[in-house]
Amino acid sequence: MKSILIYGAGGHAKAVIDVIEKAGECRVTGLLDRIKPPGTNVYGYQVLGNENDLAVDESVQGLIVAIGDNWLRAEVAMAIRSIRPDLPFITAIHPNASVARGAEIGEGSVVMAGAVVNSDTRIGKHCILYTLASVDHDSSVGDFVSFAPHAATGGGVSIGAYTALGIGAKIIHSVSIGEHTVVGAGANVLSPIADYSVAYGTPAREIRARKAGERYL
C-alpha cells in the first residue's frame, strides 16, 4: 500500500481523509500545512511540517493537496512540484462514487461520495467533485475546478480551469463556462458564461467581473 501525505489540515482535508480511508488504496502517514504547527492532530494524523520538509523526506510515495480554494490549491501544488518534481499526486475516488467507462480523471483530483463522472468525460488535474456532484457524458473540465455538493451538468459541457460551481448549480447540455469563473449556488445556466465572471440566478447571468485568485469561499 502506497504511503502518502495530505497537504492541508482544515475541513476539506478531513473530507479527503475520509475518501482515502474508505478507498483503502493508500496509507496516510501524516499531514503538511503552512498554518497549523507540527504536532497538530487531525483525525489521528499529525501535521509534520510544510512543503519545504518534502525536500528531505524521501519515504513519501505520493501526495494530495486537500485545500478547497482552487487558486490556493494550485499555488501549493505548483510549489510542491518545484520542490519534488518526482513526487506523484494521487487521485482519491470514494467507493460510492460512480466513474463511467471512458471517463478520465486527472492527478490530484478528489471524487467524493455519490458523485458521478459519466462516460467519456474528462476531469482535469487537482479538481474537486463534492458529495452528489455530477458531470454528464462527453464533458470537459479544466484543471483546478471545483463542483460543490449537488452541482451538475448536462452532456457535452465545457468548463474552464479554476472555475467554481456553487451548491446546486445546474448547467444545461452543450454550454461552455469560462475559466476563473464562479457560478453561484442554485444557478441555472442556460447560455455560455465568459471567463473571469461571477454569475448567478435563474436563468444565470453575469453579474460582474472577477480577477484570478479572488476569494470566493
Strands 164-165, 146-147: pairing is parallel
How far apart CA 44 and CA 6 sit, in angstroms, is: 13
Strands 41-42, 45-49: pairing is antiparallel
Strand pairing partners for 89?
A: 63
Q: Which amino acid is at 195?
A: D
Active site residues: 137
Greatest Cα pair distance, the chain, in angstroms, is: 52
* Sole residue written with cell 458523485: 115
**Distances, alpha carbon 157 to alpha carbons 2, 7, 97, 172, 177, in Å:** 34, 30, 20, 8, 8
